[in-house]
Amino acid sequence: MLARSAEGLYWLGRHVERTEDLCRLLLEQMGTLVDRPVREINFGWRRIYGTLGRRPPGPAVGVTESDDDYALADSYTLADDLTFERTNPGSVLKSFSNGRENARQMRHCISGEMWTCLNLAWLRLGARRIEDIWKAAPESFYADLAREMNLFAGVADTTLYRDDGRRFLQLGRLVERAQFTTALLAAHLDGVRSYGETADSEWSSLLRICLAFDIYKHRYGVEIRPARVLDLLVDDPRLPRSLCRAVDAAAETLGAIALGPGPSGAVRRLAGDIASAVHRPWPAAPSLDDHAERLRRLAGECLRLHDLVMAAHVDYDPNGAPVR
C-alpha cells in the first residue's frame, strides 16, 4: 500500500492507544485524590510524568509537602497539563486531536463506522476544559473517554477489511502499547527506589492501570507481591495488556505485512529479538533493580522498533535498491 496510507494508519493506531493509556493513568490518579495521603498522591504524579518523559509545569512535585489543600490545588494544575494543554504533545487532548486528524486524512482507508465513532467522541469532548470536569467527578471524564477508545478498537476490528491497512493500524497500537508498558513499569520502579518502601496500594494501582487487578487476585489471591506483579505484567502471554503479548503480536503482525522498500527484514528480526528477550528466563530471585535494568533495555529496543518500521515502510529512499 502507499507509504502515506501506511503511515497515517500506523499513527492513527498509536494516537488512539496513547489516548486510552493516558486516560487510564489519570483515572487511577483521580481516585487517589479522595482519601489517600499526600505521599501516595505525589508518587502517582511522578509515575505519570516519568512514564511520559516530561517534567511537570512549575516546581517539581516532592514528598515533603504535608498540606492536603496544597496537594489538591497542585493536582488541578497537573491534571490540566496532562489533559487539555495543547502545547503538551503527550496530553489527552493533543493525542486525541492527532488521532482524529489521522482518521480524517485516512477516510479512504477506514470504515465509515470507525470515523463516526471517533468523530462522535470528539464532539462529546468538544470545548471542555479542566474547570468543567473538575466541578463534578473528573474520573468519570477519563473513564468515558477510555471507553470511547475501546469502542473504536472494537468497531475497527469488526468493520475493517483484513488487509495491510488493518495490520498497520494494529501495529501502531501494539508498538505504542509496548512502549507505554515498558515506560510505565520503569517509572514505577524508579519511584519505588526514590520513595523507599511502598504500600500495597501503589502496586495495586499499577495493576489497575494495566487492567490486571482482577486477574492478579484470581491467580495469586489478595496478597500483593511486587515480583508477582512484574511477572504478570511482563511475562504472561494470556494477559491482554502484558508486554509479552504486545511484542508477540507486533512480531506476528510485521510478519504478515508485505515487505516494504526499506529494511523490512531488519524490522522483522528486531521484533523477533524483542519477543525472545521478553520470553528469556529470569535469573533466580531477580531484584527490583534487575527488573528495572531489563525494562530499560526493552524500552530502548521498542523505540528502535518504531524507527525501523518507519525506515522500512515510510522513510525509505525511493531511488535506492530495496534492502531486505
318 occurs within a structural domain: no
Query: Using CA atoms, how far apart are residues 26 and 130, in angstroms rounded to an integer?
Result: 13
Q: Are 21 and 95 in contact (CB under 8 A)?
A: no
Q: Look at residue 91 and tell me if it is in a domain.
A: yes
Do residues 95 and 22 lie in contact, with contact meaning Cβ atoms separated by under 8 Å? yes
Residue 161 lies in a domain: yes
Query: Using an 8 Å Cβ cutoff, are 38 and 195 in contact?
Result: no
**Does residue 322 form part of some domain?**
no
pTM: 0.92
Q: In Å, what is the CA distance from 119 to each residue of 26, 116, 148, 156? A: 22, 5, 10, 14
211 backbone dihedrals φ, ψ, rounded to 5°:
55, 40
- Residue 110, domain member (yes or no): yes
Q: Which domain holds residue 124?
A: 3-313
321 lies in some domain: no
Local confidence pLDDT in tens for the 324 residues of the chain: 889 999 999 999 999 999 999 999 999 999 888 888 888 888 999 999 999 998 888 655 544 444 444 455 588 999 999 999 988 988 999 999 999 999 999 999 999 999 999 999 998 887 788 998 998 889 999 999 999 999 999 999 999 999 999 999 999 999 999 999 999 999 999 999 887 767 788 999 999 999 999 999 999 998 999 989 999 999 999 999 999 999 999 999 999 999 888 888 999 999 999 999 999 887 767 788 888 899 999 999 999 999 999 999 998 776 654 444
| Structural domain count of the chain | 1
Q: Is 324 among the domain residues?
A: no
Amino acid present at 61: V
194 Cβ contact partners less than 8 Å away, ≥ 6 residues apart: 46
